[in-house]
Each structure stands twice: as structure tokens, then as C-alpha cells.
Amino acid sequence: MKGNGSSPDSGEMKKGSRRLVFFDLMTSGHHVEYLAHVLRFARHSELTCVVDPVVVERLPDYGVDPDDRQRARFLYPSREDWRRIRTSKTEMWRGCEELRVLGRVVEQDAIDVCYLMEMNKYQYAIGTRMGRSIPADIRGILLNPLGKTGKAARDFFLGARKRSQIRWMLRNRRVERVFLLNDDEKAEQMDKRFGRPGTFRGLKDPVVPYGMVCGGKSGATFIQKSERIRFLLFGSLSERKGVFVALKALNLIHDEMLGRFECVFAGEVNEPGGREFLKTLEELMTRRPMLRVLVVNRFLTNEETASLFSSSDCVLAPYLESESSSGVIGHAAMHGKPIIGSSEGLPGRIICRYGLGVALGSGDSHALASAMARFVRGELINVSETGMKRYVQERRPEVFVRTLLED
């Protein structure tokens, strides 16, 4: 392992603090953001971070100053570690190689608690003899735990596989806490389902004030706002995010309405469905020349994200997955923008509970087209400003970190 040589200031530690390691070799989106929150707010614990060096370079973009960085010690996989990881033939074996790196850090530094900031890829490795031999408690964030996609046949088999993976992982009695984003109800259900009371816990996905990550800058010139009403579909542009539902809805809207709005798809185009999405969109725009659609096919900076949400009038979230949490909801609430989303599962419960917009049947392109048309005509979506503020307030970054660290 390679390190930066820095160590936490012992004056910052509270009595009885445990040695913690945060392990995350991914460098995209929320992975850097989550680590930044830990560095800013977990000042009472002795921290080690095992990350890709790229993450450290990006931390200042998320409000981490030099003093915050000095509170943690950063370690990086060696060249040989990376070779073994990158030549792994499957995601499962890659997870095993990565967990071996973590195991060495735990033994060398007498770590008390390991945090896996995305637990999914390590479930098999945690349940193996190698994983069970790691002498530390294990905590982690498990995304989309039961794998619901909105397709019944696929969900039957995927759900069975997901449940088996969790049972295998829980063979390791050092698994102390499994966090589920924004879903306290699911956590209670899974405690009972898997017979591990107190193991599963809801974790509110943090909503970050933009002044914290972009110094109050809004990047106001990014995609100049026209006179048209702007709908925004933001995030990974793939089938599961409902991009085809949105395209079908656009095709259903009457011609006389097309000149009154525009739609922005912003985020990296990903498979499954990415290339088909771009092809279908091109064909749609050829048939409907009055339709204005903009695609930003890349990762957006914090400033660009703030600008885009600020300049949009309504956010589209027609997700097909019913279990996945979404940071898009937080962005929309932060900027006071109504959401047109799916009624099923976790996103639907959040939209309805906080009054963040209108929730429609999952995959219902006709209902989405109708809701968009009503919005363009000036029929207001029922949104609770109080609910939006409460949603943001409950998801302050320091709350996120406190939940991660509490016993």
C-alpha cells in the first residue's frame, strides 16, 4: 500500500474513538461526495481512507480544505494491487481482490470498523473465508438491495439472486451494519426477513447546499435558458432511468404543444439502452421537427448541475426501478423544482410523503405525456414548499455522517 504519510491530529479525537477505514476505489459522482462529507464532519474519529488517488485530487471540488484532509490518512493500492484488480475476469473476483487490499490495511493498522461505501460488489467476498477472517466490524451502503426493475419476470429471478447474495454475506458475523439509502421501512423489513435485528438501517442520502461545493457560484451561463418551458431528466441516461418512457411521452404530445417547451437529457449515456436511446431520439426529432431536445452526454460539474436545475422548470424522474434511491430528488427539492416521477416503490413514496410533485404509474408514457402537457398549459403541480425544505433539512451532510458513525 502507498500512503500520503499524514495522520489525524490526536487533539481532535474523543476518548474511546475507534479506528475507522473508509474503503472506496470508485471515482465517480457520489463516491467522492460521500467521502468529502466524512472528512468534513467525522472529526471525532481516527480515519484512514483507502481510495484511488484521483479521488483526493477531486476533494477540493466538494468543499474539502487542507485542514479537513489532514484529519485522515490516505492509502492507495499498489501497482501490483491495481494489476490484479483490473485483470479480474468478473466483478465478483474483482471484489475479492479489492477486499484483500482492505484486509491487509485492517491487520496492519489495527482497524476497528471498515466502511464499504458501496457494498454491492463485495457481498460474495465478505461471505468467503477470506472475508470472514478480516478482524474488524464491517459496515456498508447497499444499493437497490432486492433488485426490483419494474419487469415482473426479471424481478422474480433477480430478487431470488439478490436475497441469496445477502444471506451469503451475512454468514460473516462481523457484518455489523448495512445501510439502505432513504428507506427506513425496507430496513425494518430486511431485519425481520434475514433474522438480524439492528443490522439494516436507513440512511438519508445527503443533499448538499451548492454554496458548500461550488463556493456560491451558479454557473449561470451553462445551456442558456430559452423562452420555452424546460423539462430536465438528469443522471445516468439508461433504460432503468426511464429514458424510453420519456421519449414515448414526447412522441405522444400534440404538435401545437411542441413549440412551447424543451427537454434536456443531462448525464452520461450508459448501457443497457444507451445507444438505442440516442438512435431513437434522432429518429423522433426527424419526425417531429418542432420538438427541441438537448442531450449533454457527459458527467457534469457541481456548477453545471446547479445551473441546470436552477434554469429548469420541472424535473422528470420516470424511473423503472422501484427500490433505488435518487439524488435527483434532492437536487430538485434544493432548487424548489416540482418532480414528475414514478408512483411505485421508494421514489414514489418520497414524492408523495414530502409533496415534491406528482407520481405516476411506472412506465406509463401516456400519463407522463399528459402531466407534461398540463404543466406547459400552466396547470400547477401540487408542490409543498414546506415539504421541500423539510426534505433538504433532514438530509444535511452532517446527518448522513452521524448516522454512519453512530453505534
The sheet carrying 229-234 orders its strands as 292-296, 261-266, 229-234, 314-317, 339-342, 357-360
- The domain covering 2-211+395-405 belongs, at the CATH homologous superfamily level, to Glycogen Phosphorylase B; (3.40.50.2000)
Rounded Cα distance between 160 and 204, Å, is 26
Q: For 230-234, 280-284, 359-363, which range has the lowest pLDDT when averaged over its residues?
A: 359-363
- List the one residue out of 383, 339, 343, 382 whose CA is nearest residue 360: 343
pLDDT digits (tens, 9 = 90+) for 139-198: 999 988 887 655 666 677 888 899 999 999 999 999 999 999 999 999 999 999 999 999
Q: Which residue has the higher pLDDT, 256 or 5?
A: 256
pLDDT digits (tens, 9 = 90+) for 304-337: 888 999 999 999 999 886 666 678 999 999 999 9
Q: Which amino acid is at 83?
A: R
Element (H, E) at 247: helix 243-252
The number of helix segments (H) and strand segments (E) in the chain equals 19, 14
Query: What is the pLDDT, as a whole number, of residue 176?
Result: 97
Q: Mean pLDDT, to the nearest integer, of 72-86?
A: 96
Rounded Cα distance between 46 and 71, Å, is 8
8 A C-beta contact, residue 85 and residue 98: yes
Share of the chain above pLDDT 70, in %: 89
The architecture that CATH gives domain 214-394 is 3-Layer(aba) Sandwich (3.40)
Q: Do domains 2-211+395-405 and 214-394 have the same CATH topology?
A: yes
Element (H, E) at 295: strand 292-296
Q: Would you place residue 224 in the very low, low, confident or very high pLDDT band (cuts 50, 70, 90)?
A: confident
> At residue 221, does pLDDT exceed 60?
no
Q: Would you place residue 301 in the very low, low, confident or very high pLDDT band (cuts 50, 70, 90)?
A: confident
8 A C-beta contact, residue 317 and residue 343: no
Q: Mean pLDDT, to the nearest integer, of 388-404?
A: 95
8 A C-beta contact, residue 279 and residue 285: no
What is the DSSP-derived secondary structure letter of residue 3?
E
Q: Which residue has the higher pLDDT, 302 or 284?
A: 284
Domain ranges of the chain: 2-211+395-405, 214-394
Residue 167 is placed in which grid cell?
A: 444471506
Query: What is the pLDDT, as a whole number, of residue 366?
Result: 97
Q: Would you place residue 3 in the very low, low, confident or very high pLDDT band (cuts 50, 70, 90)?
A: confident
- Its pTM stands at 0.84
> At residue 260, does pLDDT exceed 60?
yes
The DSSP secondary structure of 173-203, one letter per residue, reads TTEEEEEEET-HHHHHHHHHHTT-TTTEEEE
The sheet carrying 19-24 orders its strands as 2-3, 72-76, 46-51, 19-24, 113-116, 137-141, 175-181, 200-203
- List the one residue out of 38, 26, 28 whose CA is nearest residue 63: 38
Residue 279: how many CA atoms within 13 Å on its side-chain side? 4
SS3 166: helix
Neighbours of 185 (CB within 10 A): 12
8 A C-beta contact, residue 334 and residue 396: no
CB neighbour burial string for 22-53, b if at least 16 within 10 angstroms, e if fewer: bbbbeeeebbbbbbbbbbbbbbebbbbbbbbe
Element (H, E) at 11: none
Residue 43 is placed in which grid cell?
A: 472529526
Q: Using CA atoms in the order 200, 202, 203, 209, what is the torsion angle rounded to 10 degrees?
A: 180
Strands 261-266 and 137-141: unpaired
Query: What is the pLDDT, as a whole number, of residue 240?
Result: 83
Query: What is the pLDDT, as a whole number, of residue 323?
Result: 67
> At residue 29, does pLDDT exceed 90?
no
Q: Mean pLDDT, to the nearest integer, of 79-86?
A: 97
Report the chain's C-alpha Rg in angstroms: 22
| DSSP E strands, 153-260 | 175-181, 200-203, 229-234
Mean pLDDT, the chain, rounded, equals: 88
Query: What is the pLDDT, as a whole number, of residue 140?
Result: 98
Query: What is the pLDDT, as a whole number, of residue 386?
Result: 96
Query: What is the pLDDT, as a whole number, of residue 210?
Result: 60
